[in-house]
Amino acid sequence: MQEVVGKRDILMLCLDTLRYDVAVEEEKSGGTPILSHYGGKWEKRHAPGNFTYPSHFAIFAGFFPSPADPHDFKEREWLFYPKRVGTSSIAPQGSYEFTKATFVESLFDEGYETICIGGVRFFSKLNDIGKVFPGYFHKSYWKPAFGCPEKDSATSQIDFALKKLNEYPIEKKIFLYINFSAIHYPNYHYIKGKTEDDLETHAAALRYVDSQLPRLFDAFGKRGEPLVIAFSDHGTCYGEDGFFRHCVSHDVVYTVPYKHFILR
């Protein structure tokens, strides 16, 4: 991260509610050509929470989804490392050490313009809870068109992101976070004739988001070679063991896809 912070833009994409098993299946079948081409294979990881609110508190504090395989905590790869919070006093090699409440605020101090384009209601600023995460950013935006019920939400979010990106010169470093809401329920509208969400519509929502990414990647590519962090904050249930949706501690909720890469 010492080769990234201050030298590259950072693009953070949360595919809110995306399940690991669905992500891998679409990867294998060619359903997500953009994420697969640029980012390689998904890593299997465990989310730090079982719904958006607790997961993002952890993630913005540097505690990203952790490797699903058993591992030594001290040997875990850290991109952003929170200093003096019960972790080791020595930052892991290659990590960016920060002392603010979130790495987002520390990036702003490093000269980044920090921008949030919200999706689910926890980023809406419609109530006090919805103001917490946007408050970490210097600039934050949410519109109803970005929200879960809207079939074209990812299109609207990326259209808006491109307009904002054009406001900044190339030399101004950008940290852009987008919370894509399309995969979150309801997602049945991504398959004609469906009236309820299921694994098939979940996968169709992922394919839709992937289809919108070329414009975003092209725009950032014109500015340089950014670091891209793509992940899910949690999964969701479609009847497994009698569970539906998320905010429940089921394996498919906690098991999420993750990848980071330099966009070349």
pLDDT of 86 reads: 60
Structure tokens, 2: 């010492």
CA distance 122 to 119: 8
* pTM of structure: 0.95
Q: 139-141 and 113-117: which strand pairing? A: parallel
Q: Mind giving me the DSSP string for 189-202?
A: GGSTT--S--HHHH
CA distance 150 to 144: 8
pLDDT of 92 reads: 81
Region of 150 on the Ramachandran plot (φ > 0 left; ψ -120 to 50 alpha; else beta): beta
Q: Omega of the bond prior to 134 within 30 degrees of 0, cis?
A: no
CA distance 87 to 68: 19
Question: Taking the CB of residue 79, how many other CB atoms lie within 10 A of it?
Answer: 18
Q: What tens-digit pLDDT sequence spans the chain (264 residues)?
A: 989 999 999 999 999 999 999 999 999 999 999 999 998 899 999 999 999 999 999 999 999 999 998 887 777 888 999 986 666 667 788 899 998 999 999 999 999 999 999 999 999 999 999 999 999 999 999 999 999 999 999 999 999 999 999 999 999 999 999 999 999 999 999 999 999 999 999 999 999 999 999 999 999 999 999 999 999 999 999 977 887 888 788 899 999 999 999 999
pLDDT of 258 reads: 98
* Domain ranges for the chain: 10-64+101-262
Superfamily of domain 10-64+101-262: Alkaline Phosphatase, subunit A (3.40.720.10)
Contact (CB, 8 A) for 164 and 217:
no
CA distance 11 to 15: 13
Sign of the Cα pseudo-torsion (128, 18, 15, 83, in order): positive
